[in-house]
Structure 1
Amino acid sequence: MTDKIKLDILSDVVCPWCIIGYKRLESVILQMGIEDRVEIEWHPFELNPHMPPEGEEIVGHMSGKYGMTRAVSLQNLGNMAQLGEEAGFKLDFFDGMKMVNTRDVHILLDYAKSHGLQTQLKLRLFEAFFSERKDVSDRKVLAGELDAVGLDVEKGLAALKDEGARERIQIQENYWLGMGISSVPTMVLNQSGFLRGAQGIDTYKMVLTGLMNKKEKILM
């Protein structure tokens, strides 16, 4: 029997709330000193599965998808940037920034999982998109990020041409949609409960403490 807490996290690397929530979670894990007691697995969820290859300017995208005015969209981006800074992550919402298609990203994260580098690649892609103004739908960019975390670039890019790999991502996404997951971030706690949205530090600490206590009781 494992004594680890299993956290399955559904997210997309173009979701600012996903990285804000993760950085808060990460800080709590470090504060509690339980890095070796928590196992994280990332699962695919595309915010915009039908996004065209050219992407869509972020403010116009928010206006169209959520019915926001340009002024409200800009205000929301500013608020998220501030929350990102407080969590220790740079959210650089620059003029002309685009939301992009992320199907290739999720295929590569699945490839990285089989090599034990999924979280490393996930965080690298978050930084590439939000902090370094990179287009994570561009396969040249993705090749560079694969190399940055020590993954085989040729094999990774080959996975993008594998229809089976593409279908597996769709099957996984459909599974979670069928489980009622319609927004991210969503965290599955020890395969028995859901935590939806980017939570605050206190909530993550409460949840992890509760899960740790359950594990300790089981092991006694």
Structure 2
Amino acid sequence: MTKAVHIDIVSDVVCPWCAIGYHQLRTALDELGMDAEIHWQPFQLNPDMGPEGQNLGEHLGEKYGITPAQSRQNRDHITAVGAELGFTFRFTDEMRMVNTHDAHQLIHWAALEGRDTEVKQAFQKAYFTDGLDVSDRDVLVKLVSDLGFDADEARAILEDQRYDGAVLEQMDFWRQQGINSVPAIIFERKYLVPGAAGVEQFRQVLSEVAQQQA
């Protein structure tokens, strides 16, 4: 029996293409009937974003120089691609880009129990589908509590920032590996696929990995 494929996914909670890339990968895994051991690695698109966040349209305009019309076109495209994969994007004009450092700390905590995928997916759904502020500690605690995690422990983690150093160390490690955009998906610690490459590309890579394992 082929062993589960080790996959590291470097991504941010508020990165739409990270959500798409994961669902493309998940589709390819399901189609091939392959098991995977997925490890979520932290990356912040905007590590210096303040607690108040910034209107998403304004943020994209300032950072990438795109017009409101281009932004709407991009959102429509992302929404359509997501729908094909079973993920719902609900962009609004009021949507805000926020800091995700606290979210990454709870994902790190969940990873200690092998449950980081559950938490990462809950946070992405909360942000992109439900319009929630994933920098708000009350929101984050509620989300992990709904998954069965201890709410008091989650809040304590955010208050004492106990995984701050670990998350920063992991982010620094991946930067040193040359990762400066996400998603970055690494198979068996050897093969990097940058971006949301598509179901067919992931299927091809997974097939090659499986052949090498045989």
Could you tell me which runs of 5 or more consecutive residues in structure 1 were left unpaired when the two chains were aligned.
Answer: none
Percent identical across equivalent pairs?
A: 38
2:183 corresponding residue in structure 1: 185
User: What secondary structure does 1:49 align onto?
Assistant: coil
Query: Cα offset for 1:163?
Result: 4.1
When normalised by structure 1's length, the TM-score is 0.94
The AA in structure 1 aligned to 2:95 is: M
1:90 to 71, 78, 88: 88
Query: Cα offset for 1:152?
Result: 1.1
Pairs within 5 Å for 1:178-217: 178-216=176-214
Query: 2: distance between equivalents of 1:208 and 1:44?
Result: 23
1:86 to 1:44, Cα distance in 2 relative to 1, 3 A: same
1:138 to 136, 139, 151: 136
Query: Cα offset for 1:23?
Result: 0.7
Give the aligned length.
Answer: 213
For the aligned residue pairs, the C-alpha RMSD in angstroms reads 1.2
User: What secondary structure does 2:82 align onto?
Assistant: helix
1:159 corresponding residue in structure 2: 157
8 Å CA contact 1:8–1:187 kept in 2: the answer is yes
The AA in structure 2 aligned to 1:47 is: L
Query: 1: distance between equivalents of 2:110 and 2:101?
Result: 14
What are the Cα deviations for residues 66-109 of structure 1, in whole angstroms up to 9, with x where unaligned?
A: 01111111111111111111111001101210010000000000
Pairs within 5 Å for 1:33-72: 33-34=33-34, 37-72=35-70
Query: Cα offset for 1:4?
Result: 2.2
Query: Cα offset for 1:3?
Result: 2.4
When normalised by structure 2's length, the TM-score is 0.96
Query: Cα offset for 1:32?
Result: 1.4
Query: Cα offset for 1:116?
Result: 2.1
The AA in structure 2 aligned to 1:5 is: V
8 Å CA contact 2:57–2:93 kept in 1: the answer is no
The AA in structure 2 aligned to 1:12 is: D
Please identify, of 73-82 and 13-22, the stretch whose mean Cα deviation from structure 2 is larger. Answer: 73-82
1:80 corresponding residue in structure 2: 78
Please identify, of 158-167 and 187-196, the stretch whose mean Cα deviation from structure 2 is larger. Answer: 158-167
Query: 2: distance between equivalents of 1:33 and 1:96?
Result: 40
The AA in structure 1 aligned to 2:33 is: G
Query: 2: distance between equivalents of 1:122 and 1:138?
Result: 15
8 Å CA contact 2:18–2:183 kept in 1: the answer is yes
Query: Cα offset for 1:164?
Result: 4.1
Please identify, of 41-50 and 167-176, the stretch whose mean Cα deviation from structure 2 is larger. Answer: 167-176
8 Å CA contact 1:117–1:149 kept in 2: the answer is no
Runs of 4+ in 1 over 6 A off after TM superposition: none
